[in-house]
Structures are given as C-alpha cells and as structure tokens.
Amino acid sequence: MKIARLVWGVPALVVTLTATACGGGGAASDGKGSVTYAGYGGSGQQAISQAWLEPFAAANGVKVVQDDPVTYAKVHQMVDAKKVTWDIAQGGVDFGLDDNPRLEDIDCAVVACDEFAGGPFELKKQGVPFFVFSIVLAYNTEKFPTPPTSFADYFDTKKFPGKRAIDGGNGMQGILEAALLAGGTPRDQLYPLDVEKALKLIEPVKQDFIVFKDASECINLVSSGEAVMGNCYNGRVEIAKNEGRPIDNIWSQQIYYCDYLFVPKGAPNKDNAMKLIAYIAANANNGRLTDYIPYGPANPKAAATGKYAAGAPTGHVLDGADAPIVPDPGWWTANREQTIERTSLWLSS
Amino acid sequence: MSATTGLPPAARRRSPLARLAWSDYWSAVGLPGLIFVILAFGVPVLVIVVKSLTDPSPANYSAIFDSGIYRQSVGNTVQMALVVTGLCLLLGYPYAYVMARSGRILRTTLMVALMLAFWTSLLVRTYSWQILLNDTGVVNQALMEWLGVVDEPIHMIRTKFAVYVGMVHILLPYSVLALYAQLRAIDPDLERAARGMGARPWQAFWRVTWPLSLPGAVAGSVLVFVLALGFYITPQMLGGAQNIYIGQAIVLQVEEFLKPGVGAAMAVLLFAVVLVVLGIAARFVGLGRILGIGEGRGK
Amino acid sequence: MKAGIGVRLFACLIALLFVTPTLIVVATSFTSGTMVVFPPNGLSLRWFEEVFADPEWLDAFANSLQVGLLAAVIAMLAGSSLAFAAGRGRGIPPGLVTALAVLPMMVPLVVAGIGFYLVYVTIGISGGVAGLAVAHAVLGLPFVFVNVLAALKGVDRHVEEAARACGASQTRALVRITVPLIAPAALVGGVLAFVSSWDEVVIALFLNTPEFRTLPVVMWGQVRSGIEPSISAVATLVTAVSLVMAGLILLGPVLRRKLRSLWRQQ
C-alpha cells in the first residue's frame, strides 16, 4: 500500500501540473479552513505540535499545516511579495514586534492579552510570548570530578581543560554578556554591550572553541566528549540526559529567552491564526508544553504540571550573581547584524 | 534546402529574433528551445542583476566589500578552489594515465570505480564523509582501535581538511575524465619512439606525453576550479562555522541579514568571475574541451 | 607503453577511495542498532521499514520522482530543439545557441537558486512540481543538447533527402527519419537530466514549502539535526536509483542489440 503511493506518483504528476497551471494550491476547505504554523523543527516543534497544534485541530476541526524552519528572511520575502503562506510564525522578540510593518497586530479581543501583565516576558503589540526556554551551560558528566558551577568556569580552561561547543550563528548572544559579567561588569551596566571588551576577555580560550551551526549539534558534541562544555538548549539537554547520555547542565546564569508567536501581514487565515494563538496562550493550555519538553509557560497564570515541569527554566531562577542573563531585545534588534559579522570574523581569525 | 518559401507573411512583422529564427527551417525548429532557455534561464539571471541594482540601490556592490565576512569568504574560497584543483590534478593525472595505458581489465575496473563515484548523489557522498570523519567515525576508529596510532580522536569534521577531502572526492571524476580524453588521444607509439631513441621512461613522459596532455589538464582544472567556487552543500556540511565560503556568504546575506539585494550582488559577481575564467580558458583550450564531457553529470 | 606498477597501485588505491565511502553508508543502513557505526551492529532491514512507513519520506520520494521525470521530459524537448538550431540552423549563429545551451551547466547552484526564487516570488508560483521541474530542466538541458548535437552530426542527410525526394514534407522527414535516429541520444541526455534533478539540493532548498519537499531537501534537514541509520537507508535507496539510471545508459546499447537479435530469431 505504501509502495502504491510511489507508483501513483507518476499519474499524480499530470494532476499536479493541471492544478498548478490553474493557479491552484488553495487551502483544504472543510468548512473551518486551515492555519499554517511555522516553527523551528526538531523536538521543540514536535512538542509544540503535541501540546497545542494537534489538540487545537481536533477540538476545532481546523487543519493545522506545519512548516520549518522559520527564518526572518522568509517572512520578509513572503510579505514583500504578497505571497504569504505562513499564518503564524514562531520567533524571538528581536524580529521587532512593536511597529513592524510586516506583521499584523494581535487581536486582544480574541487573545487574553491582559493575563500577561506581571509575567517574565511582556506581551508585544504584534507578538504573544508563549514559552520560556534557556541556553544553559551544559557539560559532559564523565570529564570532571567536580562539575563547573558558573560561566567563569566555562572561560577557565586551566581549571576545566577541554573544548567548548559554542553557537556560531547568533552573534554569541548571551555568551558576550556572560563574559562581561565574569570580567566584573555590573549587571546594570551591561548595555550598551561592549562587544570588543567581551571578545578580548574570551580571547584566551578561543582556540578551544568548537563552533556549531545547528542546536542539536551542541548535544552531540558535549555528550560524545568531543567538547567538555557547551551552550545548549535546556530542553535538549534534559532529553539527552533522560536517554542516558552523559550530559547535564547548571542553572547559574542561564541565558533566558522567550519565543513569541506573530502573524505575518496578509496571512491568508488570519482569523484562525488569532484563534490558535489564543488557544496556545490561554492559561488552561499554556503550561501543557511541560508534558513533552522542559520549556516553561510564558503566561504567568498558567501552571506547569507536566512530567518535565521540574526541568523547566522557570523553576530554576536563581538570585544575585547566578540570576538569569536576559539579552536586551532593544540592543540586540538594533545591533544584531553588526554583532554577527563581528563575532563570526573574530571566531575565524 | 531552407524553407524560406514556406515563410508565413506574418513573420516579417515579428521581432528580430523570430525573424532570424524563421529565416530557415532548422532555426525555426530551434525556436521553442531558444524561448525556453531565454525564459527559464535568462530571466532569472536578469532578475538577480536587477535585484542587485535596485534593492535598495547599486550601493549593494560597495556594501559587499564593507563586509568583513565577505572579504574573508573570498579568500577562503579562492584558497580552497586552488587547493582542490591542485589535488585533483595531482591525484587525477596518474589515474587517467593508468586508464589510458593499461589492459582492458584494469581500465574497466578503474572506469567502473570512477563512474560509481560520479553517479552517486553529491549529498550522499558528503554525508558519507561526515560518517567517516566524525570523532567517533570510521577513520578515527581505525586509527585508535585497529591501528592504535593515536589515543585521542583527531578532529577532522568541521575543519578545512574535511571540506577539502569531500570536495576532492566529488570533483576528482571531472578532472580524470578530461585528462583521460586527452591522454587516450595521444599515440602511445610516440612514447615508444622516444624510448627507442634512448630516452629514460620519465624523460619520455616529461618530454612527450606531458606536453601533449596539457590541454586536457588545463580543461579539467578549469572545470574543477569553476565548480569549486560555487559549492554550498559540502562546505556547509563538512566545514566549521569559522570557515565560510562564498556560497555560504550569499545565503547568509539573504537568510540571516535579510539583505537579498546584497546577496544578489554577490551572486552576480560570482557568476561573472565564473564566466571570465571560462572565457579566458576557452581561448586556449576551447570551451568544448572544458564542458564537452558527453557522459558528464551535474554538480 | 604500459604504466609502471607503482602508478598502477596508486590508481587502484584512488579507485578504492572512490567507492569506499558510499559502500560504508550502504553498510550502516543495514544495522540493527540505533547508531550509525561501521561495521554495523547486526544486520536488519528495520531502518528501511521505518523509511517506508514514514509519510514524509514517501511524499518526498514521490515528489522527487515527479520533478525528475518532468524535468527530463522538458530538457529532452528543449535540448533537442536547440541542438537542431545549433547543428543545422543558419539563421541564429550556432555559436550563440551553443553558448546559451551549455551555459546553465556552469551557473553556481546558489546563484540559480536565488534567481529562480526571486522570479517565482515575483510571479507568485510558490514551490510545487512544475516550478522546480522547470529549474531542473534548465540544468539538465546541456546534457541533452551535447548528446543530441553529437548524434545529429552522425545522421546521414542522404536518408532525409531521399525521403524528401519521395514526396515527404520537411517536417514529415524530420519526424519519421531524423527524430528516431537521434532519440537514443536524447534519451541518454534525459536520463542524465533526471539524475541531476534527483540529487539537486540547493535550488530545491530555495523553492521548498511545507507541502512540497524533495528527497534531498528532507535528507538535508535530517542530516543537519543528527546522523541516524534511517538517513543511511534513504541514502542507500537514492544511490540505488542513481546507479540503475547509470546502468540504463551504460548498458543501454548492449541491451538494445540483444533485444534486436532476439527479435530476429523469432
């Protein structure tokens, strides 16, 4: 039966051609329509799908189409070309969620906007925060008798010899902040970020960096021992740990993030998009992600009760010097490109 | 022979191209193909050029050179393409020579091996090197457990070395085929004659065969060099984030920095360089020799 | 003049390096374990079963097949048409036709990818079989062109002239005499075009949508998030298809002769 699909592929070609020629490709219409969700793929999107997208589709009879990965470039191009295929995109606050001409405003008549007051991340005019995750200092549990305790240890290759896995794609966001903190800059004076000073502080350990491009590589690098420490997503560390891999993380100075949902301007199924966002953000549903992955709710009125709740970043917010590092969205939105250029060059020189 | 008599009167009012095409029967047969190439190939190239000049302005071209990443990627790419071209010539020449100068069994064996590699998907071959060169991969396993040469795995993946290995594996067949075509055309009696007149084997090779095989060597090397300039998949999969090549720099501009205009300008420059290199080489060895691998394959 | 023994050994070593990596991938796809290791931990077909049970892979297989076939057909038509213009036409300079027909071979794929992406975004075709097949047909066209042009040079024009003399129109002579003579060459070019479409990633990445992904695109996405035996299994299947195609081309003439002689015996 499965093979039959391949065999049928050839005649289907003719059908597809005809459909394309007629400018087809409309959404499957079974009355309630559809909505396309674009995320980052991998185990994260799988969890989002199980926690929210599939239940929403089952409860409302709306077909949820999924896509990945989100790139901001694709949102730009879709909107500029007026050929928007994504109704909801997942992304960071650095996309600009206040007066972005390429986004729709969030409809607070549908979404319970007022519930986010006093939460860890504020609701934006064009974006709804929907889960909290962090990039943590992960380490290989077989390499050291005493595990590292702070980012200072990450930058100390004498005390903790070995390679460090580092994300090369994001302008070393959070790492620069951690370096400055380790170098003695007070927390309230981090921004505007002194990139050159931070890089100078990291310079001594640069030859020990293994630069990766994809988040899952971090887990493989650290758990295989190729690197002894790395900056990995907390959820992926937890999953790998549960699979029995020799990896764990500390919570001191976790780099604290929140992902937002937003609607590209001209999304074909805007109404369904707002309904799905409202569903995901509702206090009854927002904590459900912890059933599948240790990422915490962004709605302060939602309860995290899933089996992964204990590993969610929201449950490990430490104080003082160990408190989470929250990259400043204003500074990073304004300086993202230059910083990516600068850090990529620095890493390769 | 030509069918000008059957020319429809309307043709006189058509565009110059159509008039040209209708001027004889075979050009008319070629018209559909010509229209297809112009629409499906000419238009995309034109759109890139337009985009590079208008989104937002021709300043895209100066923006390229302000980008440190781009300058570095050019250096990396040229270095990589030269190294890979050199290695392909170095490894490919003996291979092609043996193919041209040995019995049927060995020649067939070498040809089959070459064709197997040639016909295997680029993505599959790149993936295979990822498996081989991993820290826990076959090569390190061999070095550590089977041979016991080293205690710690050698880092090969995410280095220039891995990129070079993968690229040479993918591009070597092009270089071998060009060399083989040339070497096979050289009469073996010439070398025999040189030997007969008292030349040592290497003298006979160096004075007779090598100069005669040069056009093939140039053609193969130019092809490898030009193909190497535009590679994206292999460096992205085997290379480290530290070493970015032009293909990746273009994607970075479009996808990460949200500047399709600058990316398009880079693409225009890359294509222009490819055309210039081909044009210069074609003057010496002929475009047909460079591209005319009848049984050839895509990149 | 035979090559020396040292050089011959060297060539054999390179030959081994040509095929070993692929063989290792194939071996890892038959593992019964969950890791990509060589030699594999036990033998099984479980990863192939997994691939054949996964709609994502199956859809991708079907998509790649459709794109490849359509691209090959377009490339055969357009490439043959251009070969006639270059080989026999006088109206359009043959040099110009040849340049236009082989140039797509030399476009860096990233450049072509951006170009097609920008065009399709502008005219509003997003992803899909036809859009990608047109792009791949352009890449495959040179293979058809080169092969048909060579075959055309070998066609005896007297046969066509005889047909004309017997009252056939030029077009009838073309269809009944010349086209059958060049058809094998066009077919070889078409198979090459299919294979180049079959493993093309870069343009396919630029043009992919959630509903429409080809096999290399799905494979690329999977490889980037970690190596798994199921990827090896797909790689094995992809390679098998490519090699069957290669076999068709290399053994095609032999098979045709065999069939013909069988036919005569009957």
- Kindly report the CATH number assigned to the domain that includes residue B226: 1.10.3720.10
In a domain, B277, yes or no: yes
CA–CA separation, A217 and A210 (whole Å): 10
At A86, which amino acid appears? Answer: W
Which of the residue ranges A189-193, B163-167, B254-258 would you say has the lowest mean pLDDT? B254-258
CB atoms B69 and A344 under 8 Å: yes
Alpha helices (H) along C34-178: 46-52, 55-88, 94-102, 109-123, 129-153, 157-165, 170-173
Residues A101 and A213 in one domain: no
**Tens of pLDDT along A70-103?**
888 889 888 887 888 899 999 988 888 999 999 9
Residues A230 and A344 in one domain: yes
C263 Cβ contact list (under 8 Å, min separation 6): none
Report strand pairing: A128-140 vs A296-297: antiparallel
**Tens of pLDDT along C68-122?**
999 999 999 999 999 999 988 887 888 889 888 988 988 999 999 999 988 987 7
Residues B254 and B269 in one domain: yes
Residues B50 and B65 in one domain: no
Listed residues B36, B54, B72: the one ending a domain = B54
CA C184 to chain centre: 15
By CB neighbour count within 10 A (0-12 exposed, 13-18 middle, 19+ buried), where does A60 fall?
middle
The interaxial angle of helices C55-88 and C94-102, nearest 10 deg, is 170
Q: What range defines the domain where residue A204 resides?
A: 133-257+317-348
Q: How many CB atoms lie within 10 A of CB B24?
A: 21
State which H helix or E strand residue A33 sits in: none
Q: What is the DSSP letter of C43?
A: B
C126 pLDDT band, cuts 50/70/90, is low
Residues A117 and A211 in one domain: no
Is residue A253 within 8 Å of A151, Cβ to Cβ? yes
Please state, rounded to an integer, the average pLDDT across all residues of chain B. 86
C156 Cβ contact list (under 8 Å, min separation 6): none
- Does the CB of C241 have a partner CB in chain A at under 8 Å? no
Asked if pLDDT for residue B146 goes beyond 90, the answer is no
Q: Please give the residue of chain A at the shortest CA–CA distance from B240.
A: A211
Three-state DSSP at B121 gives coil
- Does the CB of C65 have a partner CB in chain A at under 8 Å? yes
> Which tokens go with C22?
């692929």
Residues A251 and A237 in one domain: yes
Asked if pLDDT for residue B211 goes beyond 50, the answer is yes
A122 Cβ contact list (under 8 Å, min separation 6): A116, A129
Mean pLDDT across B265-294: 85
B274 to chain C: which residues are within 8 Å by CB? Answer: 106-108
Residues B161 and B277 in one domain: yes
CB atoms B30 and C196 under 8 Å: no
A206 Cβ contact list (under 8 Å, min separation 6): A346, A347
CB atoms A348 and B68 under 8 Å: no
> Which tokens go with C32?
């019964």
- Does the CB of C58 have a partner CB in chain A at under 8 Å? yes
B113 to chain C: which residues are within 8 Å by CB? Answer: 15-16, 18-19
Q: Is the bond into A69 cis (omega within 30 degrees of 0)?
A: yes
Q: What is the DSSP letter of A28?
A: P
In a domain, B1, yes or no: yes
Q: What range defines the domain where residue B119 resides?
A: 61-291
Residues A206 and A251 in one domain: yes
Residues B133 and B213 in one domain: yes
Is residue A39 within 8 Å of A131, Cβ to Cβ? no
Q: Please give the residue of chain A at the shortest CA–CA distance from B154.
A: A226
C4 to chain B: which residues are within 8 Å by CB? Answer: 201
- Does the CB of C73 have a partner CB in chain A at under 8 Å? no
Interface A–B counts its CB contacts (< 8 A) at: 52
CATH code where residue A62 lies = 3.40.190.10
- Does the CB of C222 have a partner CB in chain A at under 8 Å? no
B44: Cα within 13 Å, side-chain hemisphere: 27
User: Could you say which of A2, A12, A216 has the minimum Cβ distance to residue C52?
Assistant: A2
Measured in angstroms, the CA of C231 and the nearest CA of chain B are apart by 9
Instruction: State phi, psi for A134 to the nearest 5 degrees.
Output: -145, 160
Residues A88 and A226 in one domain: no
Interface A–C counts its CB contacts (< 8 A) at: 70
Asked if pLDDT for residue B281 goes beyond 80, the answer is yes
**Tens of pLDDT along A149-171?**
988 999 999 999 999 999 877 88
* Residue predicted with more confidence, A215 or C164: C164
**Tens of pLDDT along B156-191?**
888 899 999 999 999 999 999 999 999 998 888 888
pTM: 0.85
Residue C70: what pLDDT?
Answer: 97
CB atoms B242 and A211 under 8 Å: yes
Which of the residue ranges A321-330, C138-147, C206-215 would you say has the lowest mean pLDDT? C206-215
Mean pLDDT across A21-28: 38
Residues A106 and A141 in one domain: no
Residues B154 and B42 in one domain: no
Residue A15: what pLDDT?
Answer: 41
Residues B114 and B160 in one domain: yes
C231: Cα within 13 Å, side-chain hemisphere: 24
Q: Domains in chain C, ordered, with CATH?
A: 58-228 (1.10.3720.10)
Q: Please give the residue of chain C at the shortest CA–CA distance from A78.
A: C121
The percentage of chain B sitting over the pLDDT mark of 90, rounded to a whole number, equals 55
CB atoms C210 and A66 under 8 Å: yes
Asked if pLDDT for residue C6 goes beyond 80, the answer is yes
Q: How many domains does chain B have?
A: 2
In a domain, A312, yes or no: no
Mean pLDDT across C43-47: 92
CA–CA separation, B265 and B5 (whole Å): 48
Which of the residue ranges B188-197, B244-253, C15-24 would you say has the lowest mean pLDDT? B188-197
A67 to chain C: which residues are within 8 Å by CB? Answer: 209-210
A266 to chain C: which residues are within 8 Å by CB? Answer: none
The percentage of chain C sitting over the pLDDT mark of 70, rounded to a whole number, equals 97
Is residue B146 within 8 Å of B217, Cβ to Cβ? no
**Tens of pLDDT along B66-89?**
888 888 899 999 999 999 999 999
In a domain, A24, yes or no: no
> Which tokens go with A232?
């990995």
CA–CA separation, C173 and C185 (whole Å): 18
A264 to chain C: which residues are within 8 Å by CB? Answer: none
A218: closest CA among A206, A234, A205?
Answer: A234
Residue A224: what pLDDT?
Answer: 84
